[in-house]
A and B are shown apart, each in its own frame.
Chain A
């Protein structure tokens, strides 16, 4: 049986090979498409794999510990350091790499301990889920054993700080990268399959006469599909290695240009295997769907339908040709009759344009995201025990350390009860009313989604530094002035200017702290949220009002789910919210060129200061390392590669589709010649088709604009915080108009070329003998 299978396989492959060689010209467009798809799949796989190895390399080079424990007392430090003397080797779950001591004149010295958690046998792949010997298990065991140091979940030890390094989160992040790689490969494969269906449908329709004959003489649909798959695999398999090398070269250029390294490997079996799997899936679905369209017809329909392979839509009545001009009137009629062909041309080229534009947009978004994250995510936080311990001289010490770019007091954002406070804005200050409730009588719109922030000069400088706010002297002078954001739910909603006023509606509470209703009979507002609650509250509750003046406008604040940012003076803040402020966290950012070694040096110095000052703890954030590593990932370049491939597909598809279309119409043009159409009029038929590229491009542009609008709406509403892109980026990322110009030019030029080339081929081939042929052989095209 094995011999029989082997023999069948051999015959199948041999037959497929000979078919491909014999009909090389007709398979050529498919070869190009398959090569491009393989290159894109390899590029996606190799770049993600390189990201994983880049990250691993960076971590190994820069971190030798999983955990930093700061502000320990001597006793606590000794307890941890002597672990290897007090427990047996088998029970050890961590080891202390080094210890630092910080002396203080007024306080006891504190210690920082760098710990490497042991992970036992490192389990790879799926086995790690079954044999639990992970870092987390050993960390928990360590915390349990030294609960006097680390505290418990119910009673944490507040005076120490734990900070995990990327070495600890490496596995999780690697898993995330692998998941992201898998997701991108699946998405790319789906897009590729959709594209391949379009190409293969043209190919299959061109062969429907032959397919009809095969079916007549016994070929089953399954057999036809298997033969088709084999032919495509005969093309795809030899292209795997060249695509791999082309993609490797491309990745090398992409990473080196971004200052990152690319680890080239002569042959990567995982890459080959994965891409092979993807391309087989793409080809399988491509042939199955395309052939389904064609072979669902009866064999005779396929054979007799040869002349209708260009998909004519039957008219309800005849046109009076005698009143039409030739070729313009004649060909315009043909446009209408072949509208399905032209619509599918427009649709697919629009879809490819959308992928092109979306890829460019995502590329810009990733670049902006990297720049902004670097800008806004703090590298350190120094938490003081109380507001009183925050003094300008202390803050200055941190700012003066070499490598520190800036240090600000972290704004306190308190959400409690934000649904109760309503912000009322005059109609002329509202740019878009979506999501806002309306009071038509007063020409105002209002929202309860407000983020009240208390701050002073430090905060004003913070917003000036990071959010493009202009100088706000008025904010400092007038306690009833505010800084306010223009965005709401991540879109531009307001149009504030300095000097505008807003009204804060603060609900009145009775002696028991309950809301006061206007009317005793008013139904209580229960189970209502968001817009519905605000509308009910506005009508039923008793408010006291507070008029505030805009002293500064924050344009770029990532409002997200936090509501409209409204920064007010601490006294006014306490009056409005009744809360006591804690503006006691200093956030610190390092200069962009700092390395991890600089980071550790600064961390040591911070800890030394903190020890001398007492009553403050230093927290380092992984964002420093993560932001720097992620900038090496080159996601923006990967998006550009996908964009460029989509752009390249537009002329390829148009020329192929139109080439086959005009090839089918050659008989028609020759008949027209036979019944006295002069050659210049036939030329005019082609010329009119090249001019038709303009409305086709216009139609494609319309489709693209509609699809892009929908896509950007989707990005804006649902993408924030997925795909690793922050919320502010989506509205902040801008797309150069050049992208649209290039897209339009390519579409128009491709449509033009797609009619010109068939004309040139026709002119070479014109023979009256074509009339006497009963069917075309495959070598004709």
Chain B
């Protein structure tokens, strides 16, 4: 049996606030197969973003297991995990998080610079990404000179430049209007299809979630394959 792309087992993440303990993620267990598109839905504050960050290695869990391509990321050192992310993981933030002093093009090529790959290996994918995402004419602008939709597209391009095997998206269209959201989503799915990536996406949007291969539901830190009543 092929190994799943992502395997999460008994994952726990807690926050302590004064005398109260908040279970952001409470014993989450699930698997995502290679090439699958899984959506995670839930109400605000249910812990879905926290779960996504844990799976991407951006947060450390209190306990549990996270394996990406069979590699247990919870046991990796910070640097090894960073290199691993650079090679296999792409992340799209809800609030894009572009570097303010770098242009759109520089933001996009930043992950490639981290991996020290030669520029000729990225020329083609860069061209394809920027054309597909329709940001070619805005490449030399700083982020604050771009609209929200354009910024999110730049963020998507940045996440995809290294051709990651698994892509995590935290409400990628959360800050966009309907038209932009649909457009961005179409582009994302198109890129995913072309590159054959696994996609795990957090969303509020039922219509978006409906396009996923599978939907998981989260409430009060608990993950379930069925919606909560």
Interface residue ranges, A against B (CB under 8 Å) = 304-305, 307-308, 310, 312, 314-324, 326, 330, 334, 337-338, 667-668, 671-680, 768-769, 771-772, 774
Contacts and interface: CB of A to CB of B under 8 A. Distances in A.
B119 A320 contact: yes
B203 interface: no
Given A318-B140, A772-B53, A310 B59 contact: no
Interface stretch (B33-41, B89-97, B184-192): B89-97
Contacts of B116: 326
A278 B183 CA distance: 61
B203 to A, nearest CB: 16
22 contacts: A305-B144, A308-B142, A312-B100, A320-B109, A322-B109, A322-B118, A322-B122, A324-B113, A326-B113, A326-B114, A326-B116, A330-B113, A337-B102, A667-B97, A668-B100, A668-B101, A672-B99, A674-B85, A674-B97, A676-B82, A769-B59, A771-B58
A121 to B, nearest CB: 72
A337 B100 CA distance: 10
A771 B95 CA distance: 9
Given A675-B85, A679-B78, A771-B58, A321 B106 contact: yes
Contacts of A679: 78-79, 82
B115 A321 contact: no
B58 A312 contact: no
Minimum-distance CB pairs A-B, first 7: A676-B86, A322-B119, A318-B105, A678-B79, A768-B58, A312-B101, A318-B103
B14 to A, nearest CB: 14
B139 interface: yes
A678 to B, nearest CB: 4
A321 B49 contact: no
Contact of A671 (B84, B99, B104, B117): B99
Contacts, number: 104
A769 B103 CA distance: 25
Contact of A321 (B78, B95, B109): B109
B217 to A, nearest CB: 21
A615 B83 CA distance: 104
Contacts of B82: 673, 676-679
B55 interface: no
Interface string B68-91: 000000000011001111110001
B163 interface: no
A581 to B, nearest CB: 78
Most chain A C-beta atoms within 10 Å of own C-beta, residue among B49, B58, B141: B58
Interface of B: 49, 53, 58-59, 78-79, 82-87, 91, 93, 95, 97, 99-106, 109-119, 122, 139-145, 158
Nearest to B80: A678
B85 to A, nearest CB: 5
A307 B96 CA distance: 12
Nearest to A311: B101
A314 B145 contact: yes
Contacts of B103: 315, 318
A314 B145 CA distance: 10
B87 A319 contact: no
Contacts of A771: 53, 58, 93, 97
B114 A675 contact: yes
A318 B119 CA distance: 14
Contacts of B105: 318
B167 to A, nearest CB: 13
Contacts of B49: 772
A311 B123 CA distance: 31
A671 B59 contact: no
Nearest to A312: B101
A338 B99 CA distance: 13
Most chain B C-beta atoms within 10 Å of own C-beta, residue among A323, A672, A675, A768: A675
Given A769-B59, A771-B93, A675 B106 contact: no
Contact of A307 (B104, B115, B119, B143): B143
A307 B142 CA distance: 11
B101 A680 contact: no
Given A304-B144, A318-B140, A771-B97, A675 B111 contact: yes
A674 B114 CA distance: 11
Most chain A C-beta atoms within 10 Å of own C-beta, residue among B79, B100, B109, B110: B100
B121 to A, nearest CB: 9
Contact of B113 (A321, A671, A678, A774): A321
B158 to A, nearest CB: 7
Given A675-B158, A772-B49, A321 B110 contact: yes
